[in-house]
């Protein structure tokens, strides 16, 4: 089964909430509210309890909420050897699929399978993982996710020492023959987004930075977008 993703990497600032802090008892309504708040996409953190010490949801949950929002869905697969679930994740309505370099024995093959399914492909690097892992797969990438926390939980502190890694990744990706987005995920808030943006990220995942914002999600999205835009070189 293949479908054509409408996802296009652009050098624009994108604010993308993680639904990890959402009320899972009404996840459909939460997705509708995020769209109304002006988000660019919605990210689903799929955790398997093996690659990360936490367990969330899978394709069926994503499929159940697909009809509640018209924005692009992306899946962050924190899953050991995720090939087996790629088709169901795309069928559930995700147009962008992110896999971890550390979780894929055959990363090139896994990324190729995502593309064959008609989705956009991204690789995530944990804080300790060098960007060398990107060298031989950039031709398959639409986006790179630089983790700014160790994955598995929301509400963690931003790891600012990832900023030079973000800058080095931007330099590496600029040698490609087309634009490839850099997404950051973990501890992104109105206090940290400027540093990540200045370093070279253009897509920003935020869970607690949006859900915990005193002004509500719409104000959070507007503020994050403004701060990221102002900080760009």
Positions marked catalytic:
45, 185
- The least distance separating ligand DX5 from the CB of residue 185, rounded to whole angstroms, comes to 5
Sequential DSSP letters for 132-152: GGGTTTGGG-SEEEEESS-SS
Q: Which of 82, 93, 186, 195 binds ligand DX5 (CB under 6 A)?
A: 186
Cβ neighbours of residue 175 under 8 Å, at least 6 residues apart? none
Does residue number 155 form part of the binding site for ligand DX5 (CB under 6 A)? yes
Alpha carbon 89 to chain centroid, angstroms: 14
> Which H or E run includes 94?
strand 94-100
Cβ neighbours of residue 11 under 8 Å, at least 6 residues apart? 179, 181, 202
The neighbouring-strand residues paired with 99 are 77, 123
Taking the C-alpha atoms of residue 72 and residue 5, their distance in angstroms, rounded to an integer, is: 9
Spatial CA neighbour of 159 closest among 134, 188, 199: 188
- The least distance separating ligand DX5 from the CB of residue 148, rounded to whole angstroms, comes to 8
Stretch binding ligand DX5 (CB under 6 A), from 100-108, 113-121, 147-155, 191-199: 147-155
Taking the C-alpha atoms of residue 104 and residue 99, their distance in angstroms, rounded to an integer, is: 8
Q: Which of 61, 88, 208, 229 binds ligand DX5 (CB under 6 A)?
A: 208
Nearer to ligand DX5, 45 or 142 (CB): 45
- The least distance separating ligand DX5 from the CB of residue 136, rounded to whole angstroms, comes to 25
Does residue number 206 form part of the binding site for ligand DX5 (CB under 6 A)? yes
Taking the C-alpha atoms of residue 20 and residue 61, their distance in angstroms, rounded to an integer, is: 13
Q: Could you give the strand order of the β-sheet that contains 94-100, starting from the edge strand earlier in sequence?
A: 14-17, 203-206, 181-185, 143-147, 120-125, 94-100, 72-78, 41-47
Does residue number 100 form part of the binding site for ligand DX5 (CB under 6 A)? no
Stretch binding ligand DX5 (CB under 6 A), from 104-112, 115-123, 133-141, 182-190: 182-190
- The least distance separating ligand DX5 from the CB of residue 121, rounded to whole angstroms, comes to 18
Does residue number 41 form part of the binding site for ligand DX5 (CB under 6 A)? no
Nearer to ligand DX5, 82 or 154 (CB): 154
Q: Which of 13, 15, 16, 20 binds ligand DX5 (CB under 6 A)?
A: 20
Does residue number 18 form part of the binding site for ligand DX5 (CB under 6 A)? yes
- The least distance separating ligand DX5 from the CB of residue 157, rounded to whole angstroms, comes to 8
Give residues in contact with ligand DX5 (CB under 6 A): 18, 20, 45, 76, 149, 151-156, 185-188, 205-209
């Amino acid at each position: 089964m293949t479908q054509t993703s409408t996802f296009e990497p652009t050098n624009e600032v994108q604010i993308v909430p993680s639904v990890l802090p959402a009320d899972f008892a009404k996840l459909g309504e939460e997705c509708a509210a995020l769209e109304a708040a002006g988000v660019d996409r919605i990210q689903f953190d799929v955790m398997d309890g093996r690659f990360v010490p936490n367990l969330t949801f899978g394709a069926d949950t994503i499929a159940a909420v697909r009809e509640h929002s018209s924005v692009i869905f992306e899946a962050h697969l924190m899953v050991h050897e995720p090939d087996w679930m790629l088709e169901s994740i795309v069928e559930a309505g995700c147009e962008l699929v992110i896999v971890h370099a550390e979780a894929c024995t055959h990363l090139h093959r896994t990324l190729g399978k995502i593309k064959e399914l008609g989705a956009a492909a991204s690789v995530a690097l944990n804080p300790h993982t060098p960007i060398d892992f990107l060298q031989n797969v950039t031709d398959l990438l639409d986006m790179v996710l630089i983790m700014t926390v160790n994955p598995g939980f929301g509400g963690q502190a931003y790891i600012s020492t990832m900023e030079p890694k973000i800058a080095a990744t931007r330099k590496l990706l600029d040698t490609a023959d087309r634009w490839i987005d850099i997404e950051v995920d973990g501890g992104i808030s109105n206090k940290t987004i400027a540093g990540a943006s200045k370093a070279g990220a253009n897509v920003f995942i935020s869970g607690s930075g949006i859900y915990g914002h005193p002004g509500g999600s719409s104000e959070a999205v507007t503020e994050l977008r403004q701060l990221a835009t102002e900080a760009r070189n």
